[in-house]
Amino acid sequence: MSQSFKFNKAERLKNHHLLAALFTSGKSFSAYPLRVVYIPIEQPGSFPAQFSLSVPKKKFRLAVDRNRLRRQVREVYRLNKHLLYEDLLSKDKRIALMVMYVAKEEKPYKDIEQSMKRIIKGLKKAVI
């Protein structure tokens, strides 16, 4: 399989039922400044993971700040998702995940990247 760094529309988690299930029966863990909630899913799809992202308005009042953090986290996920996809595809598993930015202040891109890599390692252990 050729490695693609695109983040397609079909990879986004938008299903309200899945989002509700994430928070009622999903499992979670943290890798500061990020927290992930995930749930295995059975629905067929073209991608092994569906991803959603949240940056709280309560901590970041300005939309400019929230949008900047969203872009950074989405970019880090986009560049590192292949690490997760390889294992999910080999085991024929699918997951839905939501990543939340939990820090009270903006962290450098490098910290967000390290956190996302720890999250991907944790997901690989938990799901596979």
Residue 121 within any structural domain of the chain? yes
Per-residue pLDDT tens, the chain, 128 aa: give them: 457 788 888 899 999 999 999 999 999 999 999 999 999 998 777 889 999 999 999 999 999 999 999 999 999 999 999 999 999 988 889 999 999 999 999 999 999 999 999 999 999 998 87
Residue at 49 is within a domain:
yes
Per the structure, the complete domain to which residue 67 belongs is given by 9-127
Q: How many domains does the chain have?
A: 1
43: CATH: 3.30.230.10
**Single-letter amino acid, residue 113:** E
CA nearest to 74, candidates 19, 18, 11, 32: 11
Question: What count of other Cβ atoms lies within 10 Å of the Cβ of residue 67?
Answer: 12
Tell whether the torsion through CA atoms of 98, 102, 34 and 114 is positive or negative.
positive
The reply to whether 104 falls in a domain is: yes
Q: What does the alpha-carbon distance between residue 37 and residue 60 come to, in Å, rounded to a whole number?
A: 21
In a domain, 3, yes or no: no
For residue 4, tell me if it sits in a domain.
no
Cis peptide, bond prior to residue 33, ω within 30 of zero: yes
In a domain, 59, yes or no: yes
